[in-house]
């Protein structure tokens, strides 16, 4: 399985926070099965200095980059234009859930 770090940054326009709020329920509903299957290793919001959500950081595990791209194609934060800039980096997770994975 290939592991990736997805850094996804929200738009900075006036409607960005409202788009995130509107898409959030669909986002969490959509990732339930991914969490159950172990596709999402670790994830959470990126915060600015004031604690406002400005993006997401997600460690994922898929058989290939194509499966990761298929997830992004159906992800509500992408479809609803919450995430405006997305970086995907191949990684190897060394520590997860308090356990070493060298």
Distances (CA, A) of 69 to 20, 22, 28: 20, 23, 18
Type and span of the H or E element at 74: helix 65-74
pTM reported for the whole predicted model: 0.91
CB-count burial class (<10 Å; 0-12, 13-18, 19+) for 81 = middle
The count of domains in the chain is 1
Distance of CA 67 to the CA centre of its chain: 14
CATH (domain of 71) = 3.30.70.1060
Host domain of residue 46:
2-100
Model confidence pLDDT, tens digit, residues 45-92:
999 999 999 999 999 999 999 999 999 999 999 999 999 999 999 999
Q: Which residues pair with 83 in a beta bridge?
A: 10
Model confidence pLDDT, tens digit, residues 13-38:
999 999 999 999 999 999 999 999 99
């Amino acid at each position: 399985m290939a592991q990736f770090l997805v850094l996804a940054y929200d738009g900075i326009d006036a409607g960005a926070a409202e788009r995130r709020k509107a898409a959030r329920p669909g986002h969490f509903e959509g990732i339930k099965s991914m969490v159950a299957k172990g596709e999402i290793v670790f994830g959470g919001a990126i915060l600015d200095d004031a604690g406002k959500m400005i993006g997401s950081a997600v460690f994922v595990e898929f058989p290939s980059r194509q499966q990761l791209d298929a997830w992004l194609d159906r992800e509500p934060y992408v479809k609803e234009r919450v995430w405006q800039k997305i970086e995907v980096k191949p990684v190897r997770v060394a520590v997860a859930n308090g356990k070493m994975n060298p």
